[in-house]
C-alpha cells in the first residue's frame, strides 16, 4: 500500500508555505520597472502645474528644445494633433492627458520632455515657460456648489455647474415611515479624509514601439494588464495582437496602480513618434499629488432606533469630492461604487442612501486604497454610526451590535440596498474578540482609571466586504464582463505551469496559486510555477484589485485543475486497464476501487498524456478555465482596540488590538496573516497620522513623507490575530473568500471609536481622521467636534 499524501507537507491548502517570490525580492533580484533597461532607451519627465486652477495663456518650449540631449517636448497641443490631449475615463468622463486650456489641480501634467537621461529631461522641464492666469479655487463640495462658484469643467458641453452626479438607492418612503416611528434618532456628521495608497514603488512605464513589426510593447506598473491592453486598443485604435502589456514585479499597488495615468499615455506616444523605447518613472511627490487618491467623502448619517436597541432604519447622505476629473476606476454601475454595502452585516429592515459627486481643483481619484470601491468608507461610516447610536441609547456597544447582527441562519441575506451576503458567523467573531481583549475586565479598569483622571477607551469595529467583482450580470469595465481565467499546463515530468490574468503586487500569488493546484491534483507546490502579468502569455483576466484574485482567478485555478483531473482520470483508467467508473481519486493518485493498492500517480498520468494515451485521445495535459463568479464573497471581521488618551497633550497610545478575521478557508494562513497585519498597519496610519489635505489656494499639504507619514515598525502597535472562525464560502470552489483589504477597511473605525470612547463624557461626537494630537486636544479642551475638511490654513 502507498502512504496517502500529506497535503500540508506538499504545500497544499492550509500550508503556511514561505513565499516563493521573496527569494528573489530579498536578494535584490526583483525585476521592477526601473530595473528594466532597453537598448536605445530614452527618459521622460513630466512638467506639472504649480497652480490648482489657472488658464494657460501660453506655453513656450523653445528653450527646452535647445538643450543638448533633448529629443522631444510634448505639450497638449501636440497631443491634440493625435486626438490624445484628453482621454476617456473608466467612469465615462474625460481627463486631460496634457493640459491645453486650463490646469485644474496642482500637480496636473502640463508638458513632457524626452531626453537621453532623466536629468536632462528634468532640465528640459525647467526650461519650459508657461504663462498662467490664476482662477478661483475649489477644494471641497460646499465650495463646489456655492452660488457663483467658478466652473471647473468648462471644457465639457452641457456642464453648467460642478456637480458630477446625484445617485440614490433604497426605499425613501419606507425609511421616512420608519424614522417617524423611532424612539430615538442618532445623527452623525463626519468627513473621511483624502488618503493615498502610496506604494513604495511609484508609477512608471516603458513604451517600446517597433515600426518594423508595428508592435507596441509597454512595461507598466499596472494591477490590470489586460484591461490596459483593451483600453489602449480602444483609445489608440490599435489591434490587440499588436499590443503587449507587461506588468513586471510590482512594488506595492494598494489601488494606486489601477487607474490609467497621463504618464503612461505620453510615454507611448513619445515612443511611437521617436521609434525608441521611452521610460517614465514618477517621483514620490508626483505620485502623492497627482495619482489616484482615495476617499474624501462627507457623511450626514442618521439611525432610527427603538428603545430596546433595535435599529429600525438608516439614512445616509454622502458628498464625494472627486477632484478635477471623474476617473474612478471601478467596475460597478453604481456612481458611488459599493458604498451601499454599508450595514450589510446588520439586519436592518429599510434604508435610504443619497450621494452627490462634485468636481474640485484637486487630483482625481476617490475609490482606491485597499478597499472594494468605497467599501472602506461604507464600513467606517457604519461603525462610527453604530457606536454613536449605542452611545445615544446608553447601551453597551458590543451588546448593541450583537442585537442587530444578521444571524447565522439568515443567509443568504438580502441587504436593504440590494446586496446578497453569502455566509458568516458574526456573533461568534464578536465573542471571540471580546474574550481575547478581556472586555468585561477592561470596562472595570476603564471606570477605575476614569476615577483617577486617566482616560482609557475601547473601540469596536466590524466589517463585511463585498469581494470578488464580480458576476457578469452586475459588473463590467467598459462593457467587458468581470470573469477571470486560468491556464494550467502539466509537463510530461509531472511539473506544472499555471497562469492567470490577475497580477500580484506583493500578495503572494506565486505561492498561493501553486497551493490550489497542489490541493486539487496532489502535485507538490514546489513543482508548480506561477506566471502573471504579460498579456502575450497570460490568459485573459481583469486584474488584481478589490481582493478579487482569490474569489475569481483563484477559483479559475481550482476549476482548471479539476478539468485536468478529469482528463487524467481517463488516462488512469487506460493505464490501470479498468473502466473510468472503477477509478477512485485520492490526493495525487488514482486507484482501482476494488483493489486500492493498484494505482497510478498524477505524475504517471502526466507522462502517459505524452507517451501512452488511449486510442482517440488528444495528447497533452493542459487546459484553460474561465470563471464567472455567481456572487461576491463576503468575509467578515471584528477589530477591537483599547487606547489611553493623554488629556494634556491629546496623544493617544494603543494598549491592545485584537483582530478576528473570517475569510473562509485560508489557502496560506501565513500570507493571510501578513495581509491582515499590513492592513491593520495602514488602518492605524489613516486613523493616526496620514495627513494629506489642501489649503484654500489648492496647494497640496502632504505631498511628501515628512507630512504624509508611512508608519514603520517603530510607530506601529502590536496586533493579536485570531483565525478560529472559518465560514467556508458556499459558492467558491475551495470555500475561500477574499482577505487582501479587510483590515484596512474595518480597522480605522476601531481606532477612532476607541479614542471617542475615551472622551465619551465630553459630549464630543466626532473628530475627523487623522486623530492628530492637536485635534484630540482641541476636542477635549473646547468640548467640540473637530472637522478635518479642507481648506486648512497653510501658514501653520
Residue closer to ligand MCN, measured from CB, 446 or 668 = 668
Active-site pick, 45, 741, 742, 775? 741
Question: Smallest gap, in angstroms, from Cβ of residue 546 to ligand CUM?
Answer: 4
Instruction: Catalog residues that contact ligand CUM under the rule CB under 6 A.
Output: 223, 253-255, 258, 368-371, 545-546
Kindly indicate which of the ranges 212-220, 354-362, 501-509, 637-645 contains the residues binding ligand MCN, using the contact rule CB under 6 A.
501-509
Q: Which residues contact 325 (CB under 8 A, 6 or more apart)?
A: 89, 93, 94, 95, 96, 104, 359, 364
Q: Contact letters (x/-) for ligand MCN, 148-187, by CB under 6 A?
A: ----------------------------------------
Active-site pick, 266, 371, 429, 605? 371
CA dist 519 and 731 (Å) reads 18
Enumerate the H helices of 623-694 as residue ranges.
669-688
Which of ligand MCN, ligand CUM, none sits in contact with 258, Cβ below 5 to 8 A by type? Answer: ligand CUM
Residue closer to ligand CUM, measured from CB, 258 or 576 = 258
**Residue 184: phi, psi to the nearest 5?**
-150, 145
Task: Dig out the grid coordinates for 417 from the structure.
Answer: 440596498
CA dist 399 and 188 (Å) reads 20
Active-site pick, 223, 382, 505, 603? 223
Q: Is 223 a catalytic site residue?
A: yes
Among 292, 357, 494, 664, binds ligand MCN (CB under 6 A): 664
Kindly indicate which of the ranges 309-317, 434-442, 506-514, 616-624 contains the residues binding ligand MCN, using the contact rule CB under 6 A.
506-514
Q: Contact letters (x/-) for ligand MCN, 764-793, by CB under 6 A?
A: ------------------------------
Residue closer to ligand MCN, measured from CB, 518 or 668 = 668
Taking alpha carbons only, the member of 383, 359, 470 closest to residue 422 is: 470
Quick one: three-class SS letters along 345-405? CECCCEEEEEEEEECCCCCCEEECCCCCCCHHHHHHHHHHHHHHHHHHHCCCHHHHHHHHE
Kindly report the length of the chain. 796
**Residue 609: phi, psi to the nearest 5?**
-65, -15
- Coil, strand or helix: which one is 204? strand
Among 44, 667, 685, 780, binds ligand MCN (CB under 6 A): 667
Say if residues 74 and 269 touch (Cβ distance below 8 Å).
Answer: yes
Residue closer to ligand CUM, measured from CB, 142 or 476 = 476
Q: Give the HSE-up count for residue 439: Cα atoms under 13 Å, Cβ half-sphere.
A: 15
Which of ligand MCN, ligand CUM, none sits in contact with 755, Cβ below 5 to 8 A by type? Answer: none
CA angle 27, 740, 642 (to 5 degrees): 105
Residue closer to ligand CUM, measured from CB, 123 or 328 = 328
Active-site pick, 19, 370, 499, 589? 370
Residue closer to ligand CUM, measured from CB, 204 or 309 = 204
Which of ligand CUM, ligand MCN, none sits in contact with 432, Cβ below 5 to 8 A by type? Answer: none
**Residues near ligand MCN (CB under 6 A), total:** 36
The answer to whether residue 277 forms part of the interface with ligand MCN (CB under 6 A) is no
Kindly indicate which of the ranges 32-40, 321-329, 603-611, 657-665 contains the residues binding ligand MCN, using the contact rule CB under 6 A.
657-665
Say if residues 467 and 551 touch (Cβ distance below 8 Å).
Answer: yes
Taking alpha carbons only, the member of 203, 218, 216 closest to residue 259 is: 203
Which of ligand CUM, ligand MCN, none sits in contact with 512, Cβ below 5 to 8 A by type? Answer: ligand MCN
CA angle 337, 259, 78 (to 5 degrees): 130
- Coil, strand or helix: which one is 792? strand
Among 204, 292, 470, 508, binds ligand MCN (CB under 6 A): 508
Residue closer to ligand MCN, measured from CB, 403 or 670 = 670
Kindly indicate which of the ranges 95-103, 126-134, 730-738, 776-784 contains the residues binding ligand MCN, using the contact rule CB under 6 A.
730-738
DSSP per-residue letters across 7-67: TTTTT-TT--PPPTTHHHHTTT---BGGG---TT-EEEEEEE-SSSSEEEEEEE-HHHHHS
Enumerate the H helices of 494-627 as residue ranges.
509-521, 555-576, 602-611
Kindly indicate which of the ranges 4-12, 252-260, 397-405, 717-725 contains the residues binding ligand MCN, using the contact rule CB under 6 A.
252-260
Residue closer to ligand CUM, measured from CB, 216 or 258 = 258
Say if residues 602 and 613 touch (Cβ distance below 8 Å).
Answer: no
Pick out residues in 183-202 that bind ligand MCN (CB under 6 A): 199
Supply the DSSP symbol for 416.
Answer: T
Q: Contact letters (x/-) for ligand MCN, 538-577, by CB under 6 A?
A: ------xxxxxxx---x-----------------------
Maximal C-alpha separation, the chain:
87
Which of ligand CUM, ligand MCN, none sits in contact with 549, Cβ below 5 to 8 A by type? Answer: ligand MCN
Quick one: three-class SS letters along 220-267? ECCCCHHHHHHHHHHHHCCCHHHEEEECCECCCCCCCCCCCCHHHHHH
Among 506, 524, 702, 733, binds ligand MCN (CB under 6 A): 506
Supply the DSSP symbol for 669.
Answer: H
Looking at beta carbons, which residue is closest to ligand CUM?
255
Question: Smallest gap, in angstroms, from Cβ of residue 374 to ligand MCN?
Answer: 13
Q: Is 108 a catalytic site residue?
A: no
**Which helix (H) or strand (E) segment is 625 a member of?**
strand 622-627
**Residue 294: phi, psi to the nearest 5?**
-135, 160
Say if residues 789 and 191 touch (Cβ distance below 8 Å).
Answer: yes
Which of ligand MCN, ligand CUM, none sits in contact with 509, Cβ below 5 to 8 A by type? Answer: ligand MCN
Which of ligand MCN, ligand CUM, none sits in contact with 685, Cβ below 5 to 8 A by type? Answer: none
DSSP per-residue letters across 676-704: HHHHHHHHHHHHHTB--EEBTT--EE--S
Residue closer to ligand CUM, measured from CB, 547 or 668 = 547
Q: Contact letters (x/-) for ligand MCN, 334-373, by CB under 6 A?
A: ------------------------------------x---
Residue closer to ligand CUM, measured from CB, 255 or 508 = 255
Residue closer to ligand CUM, measured from CB, 255 or 791 = 255
**Which helix (H) or strand (E) segment is 623 a member of?**
strand 622-627
Kindly indicate which of the ranges 129-137, 143-151, 247-255, 338-346 contains the residues binding ligand MCN, using the contact rule CB under 6 A.
247-255
**Residues in contact with ligand MCN by the rule CB under 6 A:** 199, 252-255, 370, 505-509, 512, 544-550, 554, 663-668, 671-672, 675, 678, 736-741
Active site residues: 223, 370-371, 741
Amino acid at each position: 500500500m502507498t502512504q496517502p499524501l500529506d497535503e500540508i507537507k506538499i504545500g497544499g491548502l492550509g500550508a503556511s508555505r514561505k513565499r516563493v517570490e521573496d527569494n528573489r525580492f530579498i536578494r535584490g533580484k526583483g525585476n521592477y520597472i526601473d530595473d528594466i533597461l532597453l537598448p536605445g532607451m530614452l527618459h521622460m519627465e513630466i512638467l506639472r502645474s504649480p497652480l490648482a486652477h489657472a488658464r494657460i495663456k501660453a506655453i513656450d518650449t523653445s528653450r527646452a528644445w535647445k538643450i543638448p540631449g533633448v529629443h522631444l517636448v510634448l505639450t497638449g497641443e501636440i497631443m491634440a494633433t493625435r486626438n490624445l490631449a484628453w482621454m476617456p475615463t473608466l467612469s465615462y468622463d474625460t481627463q486631460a492627458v496634457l493640459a491645453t486650456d486650463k490646469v485644474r489641480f496642482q500637480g496636473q501634467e502640463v508638458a513632457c520632455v524626452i531626453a537621453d537621461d532623466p536629468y536632462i529631461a528634468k532640465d528640459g522641464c525647467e526650461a519650459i515657460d508657461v504663462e498662467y492666469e490664476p482662477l478661483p479655487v475649489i477644494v471641497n463640495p460646499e465650495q463646489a456648489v456655492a452660488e457663483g462658484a467658478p466652473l471647473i469643467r468648462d471644457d465639457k458641453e452641457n456642464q453648467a455647474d460642478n456637480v458630477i452626479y446625484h445617485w440614490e438607492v433604497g426605499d425613501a418612503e419606507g425609511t421616512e415611515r420608519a424614522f417617524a416611528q423611532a424612539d430615538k434618532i442618532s445623527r452623525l456628521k463626519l468627513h473621511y479624509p483624502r488618503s493615498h495608497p502610496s506604494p513604495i514603488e511609484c508609477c512608471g512605464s516603458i513604451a517600446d514601439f517597433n515600426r518594423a513589426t508595428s508592435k507596441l510593447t509597454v512595461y507598466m506598473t499596472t494591477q490590470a494588464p489586460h484591461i490596459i491592453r483593451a483600453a489602449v486598443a480602444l483609445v489608440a485604435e490599435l489591434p490587440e495582437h499588436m499590443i503587449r502589456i507587461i506588468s513586471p514585479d510590482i512594488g506595492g499597488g494598494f489601488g494606486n496602480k489601477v487607474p490609467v495615468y497621463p504618464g503612461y499615455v505620453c510615454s507611448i506616444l513619445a515612443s511611437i513618434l521617436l521609434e525608441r523605447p521611452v521610460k517614465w518613472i514618477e517621483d514620490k511627490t508626483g505620485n502623492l499629488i497627482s495619482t489616484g487618491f482615495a476617499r474624501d467623502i462627507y457623511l450626514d448619517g442618521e439611525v432610527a432606533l427603538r428603545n430596546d436597541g433595535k435599529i429600525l432604519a438608516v439614512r445616509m447622505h454622502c458628498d464625494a469630492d472627486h477632484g478635477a476629473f471623474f476617473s474612478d476606476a471601478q467596475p460597478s454601475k453604481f456612481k458611488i461604487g459599493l458604498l451601499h454595502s454599508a450595514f450589510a452585516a446588520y439586519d436592518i429592515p429599510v434604508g435610504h442612501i443619497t450621494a452627490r459627486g462634485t468636481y474640485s481643483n484637486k487630483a482625481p481619484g476617490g475609490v482606491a486604497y485597499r478597499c472594494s470601491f468605497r467599501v472602506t468608507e461604507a464600513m467606517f461610516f457604519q461603525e462610527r454610526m453604530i457606536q454613536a447610536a449605542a452611545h445615544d441609547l446608553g447601551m453597551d456597544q458590543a451588546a448593541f451590535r450583537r442585537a442587530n447582527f444578521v444571524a447565522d441562519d439568515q443567509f443568504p441575506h438580502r441587504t436593504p440596498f440590494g446586496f446578497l451576503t453569502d455566509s458568516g458567523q458574526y456573533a461568534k467573531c464578536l465573542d471571540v474578540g471580546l474574550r481575547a481583549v478581556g472586555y468585561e475586565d477592561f470596562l472595570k479598569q476603564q471606570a477605575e482609571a476614569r476615577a483617577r483622571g486617566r482616560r482609557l477607551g475601547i473601540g469596536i469595529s466590524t466589517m463585511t466586504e463585498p469581494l470578488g467583482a464580480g458576476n457578469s450580470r452586475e459588473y463590467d469595465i467598459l462593457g467587458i464582463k468581470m470573469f477571470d481565467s486560468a491556464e494550467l499546463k502539466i509537463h510530461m515530468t509531472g511539473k506544472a505551469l499555471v497562469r492567470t490574468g490577475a497580477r500580484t503586487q506583493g500578495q503572494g500569488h506565486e505561492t498561493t496559486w501553486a497551493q490550489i493546484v497542489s490541493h486539487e491534483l496532489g502535485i507538490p507546490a514546489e513543482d508548480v510555477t506561477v506566471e502573471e502579468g504579460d498579456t502575450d502569455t497570460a490568459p485573459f483576466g481583469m486584474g488584481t484589485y478589490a481582493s478579487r484574485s482569490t474569489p475569481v482567478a483563484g477559483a479559475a485555478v481550482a476549476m482548471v485543475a479539476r478539468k485536468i483531473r478529469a482528463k487524467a482520470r481517463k488516462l488512469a483508467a487506460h493505464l490501470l486497464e479498468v473502466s473510468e467508473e472503477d477509478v477512485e481519486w485520492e490526493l495525487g493518485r488514482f486507484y482501482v476501487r476494488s483493489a486500492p493498492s493498484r494505482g497510478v500517480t498524477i505524475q504517471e498520468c502526466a507522462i502517459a498524456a505524452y507517451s501512452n494515451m488511449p486510442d482517440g485521445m488528444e495528447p497533452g495535459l493542459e487546459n484553460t478555465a474561465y470563471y464567472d463568479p455567481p456572487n461576491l464573497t463576503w468575509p467578515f471581521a471584528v477589530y477591537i482596540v483599547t487606547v489611553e488618551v493623554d488629556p494634556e497633550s491629546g496623544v493617544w497610545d494603543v494598549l491592545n488590538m485584537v483582530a478576528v478575521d473570517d475569510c473562509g478557508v485560508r489557502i496560506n494562513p501565513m500570507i493571510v496573516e501578513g495581509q491582515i497585519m499590513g492592513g491593520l498597519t495602514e488602518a492605524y496610519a489613516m486613523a493616526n497620522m496620514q495627513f494629506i489635505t489642501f489649503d484654500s489656494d489648492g496647494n497640496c499639504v502632504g505631498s511628501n513623507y515628512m507630512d504624509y507619514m508611512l508608519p514603520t515598525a517603530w510607530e506601529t502597535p502590536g496586533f493579536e490575530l485570531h483565525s478560529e472562525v472559518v465560514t467556508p464560502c458556499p459558492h467558491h470552489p475551495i470555500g475561500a473568500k477574499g482577505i487582501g483589504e479587510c483590515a484596512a477597511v474595518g480597522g480605522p473605525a476601531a481606532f477612532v471609536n476607541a479614542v471617542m470612547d475615551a472622551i465619551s463624557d465630553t459630549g464630543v461626537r466626532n473628530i475627523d481622521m487623522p486623530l492628530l494630537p492637536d485635534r484630540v486636544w482641541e476636542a477635549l479642551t473646547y468640548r467640540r467636534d473637530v472637522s478635518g475638511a479642507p481648506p486648512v490654513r497653510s501658514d501653520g
